[in-house]
């Protein structure tokens, strides 16, 4: 049907041109009435089924009028013939029902009614064909996802990438308490393919309904299909397979914020960018309506911090996913005039970790003697927003005698080994150089093309660290052993995600980890290893390698996007948490804070941290009898009940926010 319409439209355009040329030459009479009618008919064909139905109605009316005129003038028919009105009615009945003419008499009358009946059969047959074609076209449009959604207060996801499935899983958890939640996805991908992939990889949707649409998110007409004007929030993911994904994301933000039909209220947009170099342009385009998740920057910082403190990735995962505790921001009217240090001890089932000031600045773990001013918001870790409430400090909550004084810790130069390489490698090296002391050495081992030249050209954040390069096959056991990994303080294993598919890159990483495990067992010494995984499904397979920690890159980005779509301050909060200049998350021995002889409450640990200018947010207690850890938290507990008394061992850690 579409090809027929296009062909007729082309012929109509050709005839229009011919008519104009003839008129110019002074032969206007060359354009006959028949040609004009054909041109008008072709235009109607191009206009679609409604116009064609109109032509058929016109043919029917002409036929009925002509037959009625003949019958009225000749007075043919039973009982002396019909008048024009009755003749028109008789003709109409014969066009609609061929059986009506069965009782006609008189050959002339029969021929007239036969003509009317045949024309009726022709018209109705054509009408059925048009309706059928129109329905087929409408159904095909629905299959392709080209109809406009009518939802309100829904979440919109634009573009398609492997992150989609983790984002959906998190939003399903967040939507569990909402009524009739809807998520609308639009990408330049077949609607049925999207629906099939989601059904395979996100089977448990709870009460959430997923609606898919095919289209280009940078096109204003296509963008109108998702009804962004009434949405709750918008997530823009980095499109899979795009040559320049950041440009696509920025153009999508531009289309959203500058749409002439956009709503007056501000949007809540969470957008993923791969390169921090494009962040400034994206902020200019999106203004205060967009929160940027710098994917490579986020992963690089967490990899570096996790390499220095095993188990830290579990803390970030707990803060970012909706299954457990999350970060909230709330008004602080009842705490205006109170110091931050006193406010920290005012929550039993929540953890105050920072402040958002009236001017928009966010600071994690501000000075304990800082007085909270009007207009500030609390940054709080809680199981849900209903659990955030002040509670009086019990008289016996703090065991002052169990608190230990801080000991002086001298940091020394470090030796760090990176095995494998991808585009995040230079960011990891830059970030690591800002943490280590002078005299530190970073050795990078890999076998990607141009590795040595890239390493020589990459910038560092300080002069405290020297970089060495080893070109080896990182899946070869003898080559890894030649690196003497036991001589390094920590090891990071990166995936070759820029040169391989995700599964192949993770497989190569698993092989490297297995070789390191075998070497560690043979030499009888522990090797501190943190590995980057791309696909969360390979995390369980990687557990057999007994690495200290795993940073699942795609999942962390997905969690960050999902959380940012619900919390408009989250990006600024994590910018401060992951910045070396501010307070960061540290995991330190519990025995440095309290005596381990008797059980102590977390109130006591929090007080010990407060006296050092730190905010305690949890602990890590690894016990063989704890049972299966379904969430792979490694004994990490964030935001424990502060009044609960527990026994700790020397290897247990307290999780704190601290300057250093």
Comparing 215 with 11, the larger pLDDT belongs to 215
Q: What is the pLDDT of residue 110?
A: 65
What does DSSP say about strands 440-446 and 362-364: parallel, antiparallel, or unpaired? unpaired
Residue 28 has pLDDT above 50, yes or no: no
Q: What is the pLDDT of residue 42?
A: 54
Residue 497 has pLDDT above 60, yes or no: yes
Interatomic CA distance for residues 515 and 511, integer angstroms = 6
Minimal CA–CA distance to 508: which of 538, 482, 470, 478? 538
Sign, CA dihedral 140-146-148-153, equals: positive
Residue 325's Cβ-count burial label (10 Å; 0-12, 13-18, 19+) is buried
Contact call for residues 609 and 656 (beta carbons, < 8 A)? yes
Give the residue-averaged pLDDT of 341-345: 94
Comparing 247 with 96, the larger pLDDT belongs to 247
Partnered with residue 443 across adjacent β-strands are 417, 468
Comparing 57 with 359, the larger pLDDT belongs to 359
> Predicted confidence band at 470 (pLDDT cuts at 50, 70, 90)?
very high
Q: What is the pLDDT of residue 22?
A: 39
Q: Which residues, including other chains, have CB under 8 Å from residue 621's CB and lie 6 or more apart?
A: 635, 637, 646, 648, 649, 652
Count of alpha carbons within 13 Å of 533, Cβ hemisphere only? Answer: 23
Helix (H) or strand (E) holding 657: strand 653-658
Interatomic CA distance for residues 152 and 38, integer angstroms = 46
Minimal CA–CA distance to 583: which of 344, 414, 423, 270? 344
Residue 141 has pLDDT above 90, yes or no: no
CA dihedral angle for residue 53, residue 58, residue 61, residue 65, rounded to 10 degrees: -160
Residue with tokens 């992939």: 197
Residue 238's Cβ-count burial label (10 Å; 0-12, 13-18, 19+) is buried
Q: What percent of the chain has pLDDT over 90?
A: 51
pTM for this predicted structure: 0.76
Give the residue-averaged pLDDT of 229-253: 93
User: For the residues of 306-363, what is the DSSP string, one character each?
Assistant: HHHSTTHHHHHHHHHSSSS-EEEEEE-GGGTTSBHHHHHTT-SSSEEEEEE-TTS-EE
Helix (H) or strand (E) holding 511: helix 502-523
Mean per-residue pLDDT over the chain, rounded: 84
Residue 101 has pLDDT above 60, yes or no: no
Give the residue-averaged pLDDT of 385-392: 87
Give the residue-averaged pLDDT of 283-306: 92
Q: What is the pLDDT of residue 7?
A: 42
């Amino acid at each position: 049907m579409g090809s027929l319409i296009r062909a007729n439209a082309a012929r109509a355009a050709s005839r229009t041109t011919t008519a104009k040329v003839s008129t110019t030459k002074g032969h206007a009479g060359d354009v006959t009435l028949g040609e004009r009618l054909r041109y008008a008919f072709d235009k109607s064909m191009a206009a679609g089924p409604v116009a064609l139905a109109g032509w058929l109605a016109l043919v029917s009316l002409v036929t009925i009028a002509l037959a009625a005129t003949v019958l009225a003038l000749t007075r043919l028919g039973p009982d002396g013939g019909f008048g024009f009105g009755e003749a028109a009615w008789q003709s109409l009945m014969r066009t609609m029902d061929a059986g009506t003419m069965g009782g006609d008499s008189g050959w002339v009358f029969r021929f007239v009614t036969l003509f009317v009946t045949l024309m009726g059969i022709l018209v109705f047959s054509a009408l059925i064909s048009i309706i059928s074609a129109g329905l087929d076209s409408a159904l095909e449009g629905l299959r392709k996802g080209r109809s406009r959604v009518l939802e309100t207060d829904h979440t919109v996801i634009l573009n398609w990438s492997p992150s989609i499935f983790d984002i959906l899983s998190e939003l399903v958890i967040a939507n569990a308490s909402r009524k009739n939640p809807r998520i609308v996805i639009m990408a330049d991908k077949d609607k049925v393919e999207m629906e099939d992939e989601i059904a395979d990889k996100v089977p448990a949707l709870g009460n959430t309904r997923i609606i898919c649409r095919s289209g280009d998110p940078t096109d204003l007409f296509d963008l109108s299909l998702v009804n962004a004007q009434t949405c709750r929030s918008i997530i823009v993911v980095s499109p899979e397979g795009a040559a320049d994904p950041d440009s696509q994301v920025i153009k999508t933000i531009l289309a959203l914020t500058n749409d002439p039909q956009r709503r007056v209220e501000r949007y809540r947009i969470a957008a993923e960018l791969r390169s921090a170099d494009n962040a400034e342009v994206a902020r200019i385009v999106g203004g205060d309506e967009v929160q940027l998740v710098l994917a490579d920057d986020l992963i690089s910082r967490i990899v570096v911090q996790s390499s220095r403190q095993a188990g830290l990735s579990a803390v970030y995962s707990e803060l970012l996913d909706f299954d457990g505790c999350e970060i909230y921001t709330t008004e602080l009217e009842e705490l205006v005039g109170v110091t931050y240090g006193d406010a920290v001890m005012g929550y039993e089932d929540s953890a105050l970790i920072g402040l958002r000031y009236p001017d928009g600045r966010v600071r994690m773990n501000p000075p304990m003697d800082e007085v909270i001013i009007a207009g500030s918001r609390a940054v709080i870790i809680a199981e849900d927003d209903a659990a955030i409430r002040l509670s009086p400090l019990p008289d016996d909550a703090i065991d002052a005698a169990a608190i230990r004084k801080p000991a002086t810790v001298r940091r020394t130069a470090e030796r760090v080994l990176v095995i494998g390489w991808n585009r995040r490698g230079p960011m990891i090296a830059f970030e690591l150089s800002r943490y280590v002391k002078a005299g530190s050495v970073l050795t990078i081992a890999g076998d990607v093309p141009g590795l040595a030249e890239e390493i020589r050209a990459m910038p560092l954040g300080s002069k405290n660290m020297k970089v060495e390069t080893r070109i080896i096959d990182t899946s070869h056991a003898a080559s890894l052993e030649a690196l003497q990994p036991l001589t390094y303080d920590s090891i990071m294993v990166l995936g070759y995600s820029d040169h391989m598919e995700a599964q192949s890159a993770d497989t190569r990483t698993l092989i490297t980890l297995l070789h390191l495990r075998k070497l560690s067992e043979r030499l009888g010494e522990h090797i501190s290893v943190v590995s980057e995984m791309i696909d969360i499904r390979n995390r369980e397979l990687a557990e057999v390698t007994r690495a200290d920690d795993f940073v699942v890159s795609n999942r962390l980005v997905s969690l960050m996007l999902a959380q940012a779509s619900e919390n408009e301050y989250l990006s600024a909060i994590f910018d401060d948490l992951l910045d070396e200049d501010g307070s960061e998350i540290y995991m330190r021995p519990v025995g440095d804070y309290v005596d381990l002889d008797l059980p102590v409450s977390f109130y006591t640990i929090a007080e010990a941290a407060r006296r050092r200018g730190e905010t305690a947010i949890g602990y890590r207690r690894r016990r063989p009898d704890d049972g299966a850890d379904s969430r792979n938290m490694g004994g990490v507990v964030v935001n424990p009940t502060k009044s609960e008394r527990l026994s700790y061992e020397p290897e247990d850690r307290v999780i704190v926010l601290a300057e250093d």
